[in-house]
Structure 1
Amino acid sequence: MKKKDLSKIGMGKSYYVFIFLLVGIILLSAVFSVSIGQVNIPFTQAMDILLHALTNGRLGSLDHVQSESYLNIILQVRMPRVIFALLIGIGLALCGTVMQAVVQNPLADPYILGISSGASLGATFAILVGFGSSAFLSQFGVAFGAFVGAMITSMAVLILSSIGGKATSVKLVLSGVVIGALCSSFASLIIYFANNAEGIKTVTFWSMGSLASASWDKTPILAIVVLLGSALFLFQHRVLNTMLLGDESAITLGINLSAFRKLYMIITALVTGTMVAYSGMIGFVGLIIPHITRGIFGADHKRLMLGTLLLGGLFMIWADILSRTLIHNVELPIGIITSVIGSPLFIYMIVKRGYNFGG
């Protein structure tokens, strides 16, 4: 598609056609995802099972389903994982888009403010040290440690960036780098003194990201946090657009960017912390997806945000498919897949397309 054609998608009917097309591809990809794995299920049978379950038996016949085990595999094992992939993709793309506007940096992603380092420290502590005899804390394990680490780190960055005046984009980035480096040092210290080979292996695998822990029990919390965050930012396009223009332009428009930066940072930290707690560290999604979507819809967040959410969800569904099927009987950490795909795409955009952030 030519650059002139891409610029037209941002406005008019073509935008809605593209959005509906993305939704349709996501639905087909979800059906394909639940049908493929160590046990391959015919696509039509997988679709019938899903229709039957979603419509309470009104649609989709189970008469020609070859095995009753197919229902269990799809509804109890693979469907929660697909929903997890969709939600994680939406959340990472959302936070990446917001953080790139907040700090006015095209290299920003959900982890730029030290959230990844804080979550890693919390998870490392939970795996290698534990929570002692506290039954309430120990039952949450790694997820609890990662979430608490991410939130404490975010609050520390927010406090540090606010010292001596307003929290500007530069101060936020610098504070994130400092706090992130400090958390990484403590995490490395714990690993260095830990006499637990299996625990260190678990920390390493967790740091590369995985959706293997997906289940129906964990889905409601993740869905509420991600969808509420998405719903909020879908209506914040005016402020996000102003952030790209800078503080001086915001003053003339009567918008207090410092207050919005703090609010947005708290919300993205909550969303990111929740995702990290359930799936570990998954890189490049929050960095590359917003840039790809800007190339299609333009820099206006009114049109950009919805397309970014859908493209992020679609990307993660296919990344999960590849992680499960690329090597027979081996599940690769999904963070490896996203990095392998994301890096060449990002290089291509820089070298070939002459991409300009924000326009």
Structure 2
Amino acid sequence: MTTAQRRELKNDSPDMESRIKKRSIFPAIVFTLLVAVGLSVVVSVSIGQVSIPFGQSFWILVHQITGIQTDRITGDASGMFMDVIWQIRFPRVLLAMVAGAGLALCGTVMQASVQNPLADPFILGISSGASLGATFSIMLGFGIGGIFGELGVASWAFLGALAAAALVLGLASIGGKTSSVKLILAGTVINALCGAFSNFIIYFAKNSDGIRSVSFWTMGSLASAGWDTLPLISAVVLTAALFFLLQFRVMNTMLMGEEAAVTLGIHLNGYRRVYMVISSVVTGVLVSTCGIIGFVGLIVPHMVRSVVGSNHKRLVPVAILFGSLFMIWTDVFARTIIPNGELPIGIVTSLLGAPVFMYMLVKKSYGFGGK
């Protein structure tokens, strides 16, 4: 068979046709997700214990964002509706949108960095480190009702997350270059160690209110959303998103393996460390604000990858948008499923994500990294 015939056969292969199809639908997917996220913001602020008409919600948001006066806001909307939407629900929806984007982004980056389809933002022991910091803060009096108040919990959780990530990177660097296997093993060790210390503190503290607070925090919640918490978390996630949107070539090379990277002249160890540090900072900020929200960073990249393929030029932006959409509606479900109550969002993400992930595991047409 000649070279031309081989090229023609390759171009006509089903795999090539699938790639061309995924490339052609990418703009439509991005546009659809942008519209869906925008509509979801308006609809989600209308849903809750106090039901607000969608039209009223839309014009309240228009009025508050642009300052345009309109006579379409009538009745209770000028008072109670305005406060409910602008002071409570809208910051919470924005936090859900940013948190979903950040978790999905970090999950995508982690899966490429360690070349493991089971990787998520918490693979470096970040969740257990943050949990240890929050447990220390709450149970020993440095958090709720303590010296530093509510800020203490977030601060200690962030420090714990960064300390855990630093320990993992340090352990993985001992004895030579940092490999994906060493990162996973180091993350497992630190995760177990931090979990043991957290349980040790809880066992000897004997504080029932503190235990309840720790349990609720580790299940994840967006109840702390407010206009004062949004600027920092939004700036961190946006900066990381802009950076990783430009790194698609390196992440594609990571999926090809070390040998291919050496052939292309790319030093993967250096990139991997930078990616880990940035992802750790983003995840630490998210965890310190929202608690531990599992499964989003694991399931969203896989769902998106099955539609647009493994090319990170398409995968990263679609994962960011779909992560935002997924978290918005997960939060709506979490705060409305129980009358006059709220279900921890981490429970909801696991309940929704686990069946989808099981379906994708048994789906024979799906593979990680194009394999």
- What's the TM-score, normalizing by structure 1? 0.95
Other-structure match for 2:211? 200
Which residue of 138, 145, 151 maps to 1:140?
A: 151
Deviation per CA, 1:282-332, whole angstroms, max 9, x where unpaired?
000000000000011100000110000000000000000000111211100
In the comparison of the two structures, how many residue pairs are matched? 353
1:138 Cα deviation (Å)?
Answer: 5.5
Q: CA distance change for structure 1 residues 292 and 25 in 2, over 3 Å: closer, same or farther?
A: same
Q: CA shift at 1:51, angstroms?
A: 1.4
The whole-number CA distance in structure 2 between the counterparts of 1:337 and 1:216 is 25
CA contact (8 A) 1:288 1:342 kept: yes
Match of 2:226 among 205, 215, 222: 215
The letter for the 2-side match of 1:75 is W
Provide closer, same or farther for how the CA distance between residues 42 and 199 of structure 1 changes in structure 2, counting only shifts above 3 A. Answer: same
Q: How does 1:243-262 map to 2 (within 5 A)?
A: 243-262=254-273
SS of 1:122's partner is: helix
Q: For 1:8 and 1:271, how far apart are their aligned partners in 2? A: 33
Q: Report the secondary structure of 2:228's partner residue.
A: coil
- Residue 314 of structure 1 is matched in structure 2 by 325
Counterpart-to-counterpart distance in 2, 1:240 and 1:198: 45
Task: For structure 2, list consecutive stretches of 5 or more residues without a partner in the other structure.
Answer: 1-14
Residue in 1 aligned with 2:97?
A: 86
Q: From the superposition, tell whether residues 168 and 4 of structure 1 become closer, same or farther in structure 2 (CA, over 3 Å).
A: closer
Write the distance in 2 (CA, Å) between the matches of 1:127 and 1:142: 7
Instruction: Name the structure 2 match of 1:282.
Output: 293
- 1:167 is aligned to 178
**How is 1:24-103 mapped onto 2 (pairs within 5 angstroms)?**
24-57=35-68, 61-67=71-77, 68-103=79-114
For the aligned residue pairs, the C-alpha RMSD in angstroms reads 1.8
| Deviation of the 1:4 alpha carbon | 9.9
Question: What do the CA deviations read for 1:161-215 (whole angstroms, capped 9, x no partner)?
Answer: 1111011111111111111111111011001101210000100010100000100
Give the superposition deviation at 1:354: 3.7
Match for residue 301 of structure 1? 312
Instruction: Decide whether aligned partners of structure 1 residues 20 and 155 sit closer, same or farther in structure 2, where only a CA change above 3 A counts.
Output: same
* Residues 205, 22 of structure 1: alpha-carbon distance in 2 compared, 3 angstrom cutoff: same
**Secondary structure in structure 2 of the residue aligned to 1:17:** helix
Q: CA deviation at 1:5?
A: 9.1
CA drift of 1:140 comes to 2.1
Amino acid at match of 1:151: L
Q: Residue deviations 1:81-121, cap 9 Å, x none?
A: 00000000000000000000010000000001111110110
Structure 1: segments with no counterpart, 5+ residues: none
C-alpha deviation, 1:130, in angstroms: 3.3
Give TM-score, length-normalised by structure 2.
Answer: 0.92
